[in-house]
Amino acid sequence: MVSELFAAPSAARPFAQGKKPVIRWIKGDGLDDPVTRAAIAQATRLFGDSVDYCLCTAGLPAQRVRHILSWAAQPVDWMPVGPRDNAALASRLMAAGCPPDRFGYWWKWFPERVRPDAPEWILDGDMVVTAAPDWFAAWLGGTDPLRVSQDDRWPAEGMYGAYVDQVDLDRRLYSGLISLPPGLRYMDEICTVLARQPLAPGHDGCVQMDEQGVVAAAFGNLAPEIIPLSEFPFGRAFEDHIDYGLRGPAEKVWGYHFGHAFRRENPHFVRLASEGVIFSAPELPVEQRFAWLRNYGPWGRPGWSMHPECAVRIGELAARHAGRPALEIGTSRGHLSAILACRGLLLTTIDREDRGAAQNLDGLGVEIVRNDALAHLQGETRAFDFIVVDLHGNDEATWRALWPVLKPRLAVGGTMVLYNSHLWKIDEFRGETGLRWIAENALGDFVVETHEEPPPGMLVCRHA
């Protein structure tokens, strides 16, 4: 079984190849979904597109993940993790008789890095960043050293499990927030600690605190700078106060660790959310709930994601056809697909690549076709009441070939949206005049609304 672990899928993911700084959370099957949702909402608003974002999950279904990510204001990469994402660690856990369903705290280190060549923060799902630390600019630039959080108050015997003797009790590191510079790897140190003192047989990572002891010992060997508890305090659900450590509150507090939120409602989180320190919002409109699926930054070139105003406009048009068959050409990560499905359309979506849509849209009832649009439509016989086309590649030859098989697929009384209609007005894409040719030569049977703004524009076509 262990031999099957050694082809880590995480290393080949396009997201992993990026160089932009990344903030990453781990989320398991606890009760802290509201905290993780607020944490991602707050970070994506605080840091915007200066960083990328990743949510690693262990054992969570797509519907639950979509809810956690529904407040995000920037794209977020969702990465379900499994044993193969850190084979070296998984093999040691399993050798101690700890099966994957009991990896528990250890899931935080799967994979070792989501983006090896970039600055990276690793946080628990119950940690909320509320401001940029003073060293944030250096971290963004890749020049900041390794930093590890510290807990200088909690009794050591309750923090480090069987590995307390390997931990520097003067520094008292703990595994809450790790700030990594580009290229730094730490698994060799973790493996060294575990080789020196293997996990005891029958280890249970959901209960025992050995993970924190191993991580504190391993990172202690890498000479980290300290993130003091006074700056990033604990708000434990079972305590009536926030724990700022022995120093008391720092002049600048820039985040909170809401301990035990995975086991019970955390009153500190509830209070700070009600006071506006932590982001909170009512249910957002459907188009905003899927901002995390937009396709730019690490998932596409600038400008390739549909403009938010256009997504809203298309969603409103689509709602008139709720309960009816719909066709989308250009699935990408599933941004518009999710909106259309939640608007009640019976959606079929086509793309020649799966950029994560099958995972992201799981459970929404969307038929996902992985094929070239022209090839698929040549064999398609169904009529669709709503069609939206968002192609990457809109030259005249493409549209001359596509239009004869696309037009018959629109049902009488239906609506077709052709996105990128004025792409040719952007210098970089001035050769992509296919939809200009369609507008001038092929829409005589339609009543057409032209929306040139916001770029790249779109045409709304209805049967005359």
Distance of CA 378 to the CA centre of its chain: 35
pLDDT at 7: 44
pLDDT category at 11 given cuts 50, 70, 90 is low
CA gap 164, 167 in Å, rounded: 5
Looking at every residue in the chain, the average pLDDT score rounds to: 93
Q: CATH 2.40.160: does it fit domain 2-274?
A: no
CA gap 44, 50 in Å, rounded: 9
CA gap 106, 85 in Å, rounded: 12
pLDDT digits (tens, 9 = 90+) for 226-265: 999 999 999 999 999 999 999 999 999 999 999 999 999 9
Full-model pTM = 0.93
How do strand 127-129 and strand 52-57 relate by DSSP bridges? unpaired
| Average pLDDT value for residue range 271-284 | 95
pLDDT digits (tens, 9 = 90+) for 31-52: 999 999 999 999 999 999 999 9
Which segments of 334-437 are extended strands (E)?
A: 346-351, 367-370, 384-389, 410-419
Sign for the pseudo-dihedral over CA of 401, 403, 404, 405: positive
pLDDT category at 4 given cuts 50, 70, 90 is very low
CA gap 297, 207 in Å, rounded: 38
List C-alpha distances in Å: 298 to 120, 254, 306, 316.
15, 27, 15, 29
Q: Is 69 within 8 Å of 360 (Cβ atoms)?
A: no
3-state DSSP assignment of residue 371: coil
3-state DSSP assignment of residue 257: strand
List C-alpha distances in Å: 296 to 293, 302, 307, 332, 341.
9, 6, 11, 10, 22
Sign for the pseudo-dihedral over CA of 80, 83, 89, 90: positive
pLDDT digits (tens, 9 = 90+) for 161-180: 999 999 999 999 999 999 99
Q: Which CATH number fits domain 293-463: 3.40.50.150, 3.40.640.10, 1.10.1740.10, 3.30.360.10?
A: 3.40.50.150
Which ranges in the chain are annotated with CATH 3.90.550?
2-274
Which segments of 11-162 are extended strands (E)?
A: 22-27, 52-57, 77-80, 120-124, 127-129, 147-150
- What is the share, in percent, of the chain residues with pLDDT greater than 70? 95
3-state DSSP assignment of residue 425: helix
